[in-house]
Amino acid sequence: MKSSVYITRKLPEEIIDKLSQYFHVRMWGEENIPVPREILMKEIENIDGLICLLTEKIDEEVIAKAKHLKIISNVAVGYNNINLPAAARKGIIVTNTPGVLTETTADLTFALLMAAARRVVNASDVLRSGKWGAWSLMEFTGQDIYGATLGIIGLGRIGEALVKRAKGFDMNVLYYNRTRKQDKERELGIHYVELKDLLQQSDYVCLMLPYSAEVHHLISKEELSLMKPNAILINTARGGIVDEEALYEALRNGDIWGAGLDVFEQEPVTMDHPLLSLSNVVTLPHIGSASVKTRMRMANLAVDNLVKVLNGEEPITPVQQ
């Protein structure tokens, strides 16, 4: 008998066709609306494999419903939406999609940095609203990128890919990571510093670390107060790493100069979110990995992981549980 698979969001036809060769496939048919929790709780009962997005909270309660689930295949590199110990207790393998989105996410991180530094969105908004008076010396002036100091918090794959972009702009790159990586320091020409020093010395602080309870609100009032008044905070990791209230205050008071945010603690962000009212913030709807090629690579890797596990083989990119 064919194994059963549930997919929590409408995926491209070719992906479904690939899966349907091997399995009985059911899918939540919406592209932009997450599967309601009660439907997920029902569907998970009798399936062997689940393909889900980061919008699905696969917590203990959901996992408890699964009777013979063998794999949860997350279409994302981050997996903070899944309760790993609960999955491990039931012998369920969890996989993610590292590697395939590295360069695309680094591109977007640098794009956000540049947009925030040079006020790209703010200046364009002024032009479109008909308020562009005349060329003037100091209007729309931003911060230099070339030759500035970039501080990267979290030197994983994406952090390293960001270094390569920064080096093209002759930036001085500092990093802070749980474990020091001396080989990378030599290879990439970067310097390890403590978190406090990184915050004090950097013109740009980029958050490039995975989210977990230990790094919840890692960047809060105290950390923001250490940053330079010309500094810009960039977050393309997870919203929960930053205390958004503290960030709002720091930006409003001019304690730091700007921010580029691709992620929020609650997504989708509501229109009355205070950070959306600030012209020195560039905001994006979590599009770090959103290129056609990369999203297809992510979906294919998620499918390949699932196929392997349901065929009794080792997954390609398992998450350590």
83 binds ligand DGY (CB under 6 A): no
Q: What is the DSSP string of 150-195?
A: EEEE--SHHHHHHHHHHHHTT-EEEEE-SS--HHHHHHHT-EE--H
User: By C-beta, is 151 or 288 nearer to ligand DGY?
Assistant: 288
By the rule CB under 6 A, 77 interacts with ligand DGY: yes
169 vs 26: CA distance, rounded Å:
48
Pick the stretch among 38-46, 72-80, 128-136, 309-317 that binds ligand DGY (CB under 6 A).
72-80
Complex with ligand DGY: residue 76 or 199, whichever CB lies closer: 76
Q: Which is nearer to ligand DGY, 77 or 87 (CB)?
A: 77
The residue whose two tokens read 């702009």 is 169
Give every CB contact of residue 42 below 8 A, 6+ residues apart in sequence. 65
Please report how close the Cβ of residue 318 comes to ligand DGY at its closest, in angstroms: 16
| Helices and strands counted in the chain (H then E) | 12, 12
Site stretch for ligand DGY (CB under 6 A), options 26-34, 64-72, 73-81, 82-90: 73-81
Position among 19, 50, 76, 166 found at the interface with ligand DGY (CB under 6 A): 76
Question: Judged by CB under 6 A, does residue 101 bind ligand DGY?
Answer: yes
Q: Say how far apart CA 97 and CA 274 lie, in whole Å.
A: 33
Beta pairing class for 172-176 and 149-153:
parallel
Contact string (CB under 6 A) for ligand DGY, positions 126-165, x = contact: ----------------------------------------
**Residue 288 binding ligand DGY, by CB under 6 A:** yes
- Of the candidates 11, 94, 77, 156, which has an alpha carbon nearest to the alpha carbon of residue 321? 94
Contact 222, 253 (CB under 8 A): no
Number of residues forming the site for ligand DGY (CB under 6 A)? 7
Q: Which residues bind ligand DGY (CB under 6 A)?
A: 54, 76-78, 101, 288-289
